[in-house]
């Protein structure tokens, strides 16, 4: 970019980031100050103050305990070897104590012997769907933002959600680079009263936008 700026002195370059080291970038572009300004050798830095909102963190062990009280969701998870192995892998020490019995003791012996691909082992879709459903059932307002690894996982979760949610009360939006701009703009549309939003996105896609009224 510095080479281009040298050859095009009237070009305006704007760098935006919430986390960039502005001093480092300003020094890197030394000599490329504001256009038509001979006194300033460093570019202008504009800082827009942000706001921090209180956040409550809920970890997997707490989610698992909550879902165990909802037999319908828990039975769904128990039927999925991928979910079982994911939970046991993440909460290995938790499952050793008396407060949370081993999942494998609650499942059919045939379930745990199924051979899974590496992708399936890492993607606990039943746990994700059950957690989203739990949030919807135990709250009355606020949207849900779900970070997923990629497009395949986004499509899988969307298909499962469409089977269990009321389309009039829940709007599902997708954010991914492969989706056309017009479709992604739907995430900014105002929702009807009593309608909630579920956003399925990758962490890369979501960082470029701010979706309002996300509570989970």
pLDDT along the chain (216 residues), means of 10: 86 83 88 71 83 84 87 80 86 54 46 43 84 90 92 92 85 89 85 91 75 88
> Domain check: are 60 and 129 in the same one?
yes
Of 202, 193, 70, nearest in space to 132 by CA: 70
The terminus-to-terminus CA distance of the chain in angstroms comes to 39
> Domain check: are 27 and 69 in the same one?
no
What secondary structure does DSSP assign to 59-83, as a single string?
-HHHHHHHHHTSHHHHHHHHT-HHH
The tokens for 166 are 């009321």
Residue at which a domain ends, from 138, 158, 184: 138
> Domain check: are 78 and 131 in the same one?
yes
Residue at which a domain ends, from 112, 138, 164: 138
Confidence (pLDDT) at 111: 37
> Domain check: are 158 and 129 in the same one?
no
CB 64 within 8 A of CB 91: yes
> Domain check: are 65 and 38 in the same one?
no
Tally of structural domains, the chain: 3
CA angle 153, 156, 157 (to 5 degrees): 90
List CB contacts of 82: < 8 A, sequence separation 6 or more. Answer: 116, 120, 121, 122, 123, 124, 125, 126
Confidence (pLDDT) at 14: 87
> Domain check: are 41 and 66 in the same one?
no
> Domain check: are 112 and 146 in the same one?
no
Residues present in the chain in total: 216
The CATH number of the domain holding residue 145 is 3.40.50.300
What does DSSP say about strands 170-175 and 196-201: parallel, antiparallel, or unpaired?
A: parallel
Residue 197 buriedness (CB in 10 A; 0-12 / 13-18 / 19+): buried
> Domain check: are 42 and 61 in the same one?
no
Confidence (pLDDT) at 98: 38
> Domain check: are 145 and 198 in the same one?
yes
> Domain check: are 117 and 145 in the same one?
no
Residue at which a domain ends, from 26, 50, 74: 50
Confidence (pLDDT) at 215: 92
Confidence (pLDDT) at 172: 93
Confidence (pLDDT) at 110: 37
> Domain check: are 19 and 73 in the same one?
no
Crossing angle (nearest 10°) for helices 71-78 and 60-68: 110
> Domain check: are 165 and 197 in the same one?
yes
Confidence (pLDDT) at 185: 85
Element (H, E) at 164: helix 151-164
The tokens for 164 are 């269990």
Name the residue range of residue 204's domain.
Answer: 141-216
């Amino acid at each position: 970019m510095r080479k281009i700026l040298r050859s095009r002195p009237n070009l305006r370059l704007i760098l935006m980031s919430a986390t960039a080291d502005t001093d480092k970038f300003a020094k890197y572009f030394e000599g490329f100050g504001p256009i038509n300004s001979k006194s300033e050798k460093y570019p202008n830095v504009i800082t827009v103050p942000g706001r921090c909102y209180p956040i409550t963190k809920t970890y997997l062990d707490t989610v698992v305990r909550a879902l165990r009280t909802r037999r319908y969701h828990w039975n769904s998870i128990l039927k999925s070897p991928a979910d079982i192995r994911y939970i046991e892998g993440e909460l290995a020490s938790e499952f050793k104590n008396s407060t949370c019995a081993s999942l494998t003791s609650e499942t059919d012996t045939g379930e745990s012997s199924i051979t899974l691909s590496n992708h399936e082992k890492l993607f606990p879709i039943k746990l994700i769907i059950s957690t989203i459903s739990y949030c919807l059932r135990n709250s009355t307002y606020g949207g849900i933002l779900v970070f997923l690894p990629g497009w395949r996982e986004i499509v899988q979760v969307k298909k499962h959600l469409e089977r269990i949610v009321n389309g009039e009360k829940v709007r599902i939006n997708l954010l991914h680079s492969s989706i056309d701009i017009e479709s992604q703009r739907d995430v900014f549309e105002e929702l009807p009263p009593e309608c909630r939003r579920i956003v399925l996105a990758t962490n890369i896609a979501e960082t470029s936008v701010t979706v309002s009224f996300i509570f989970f």
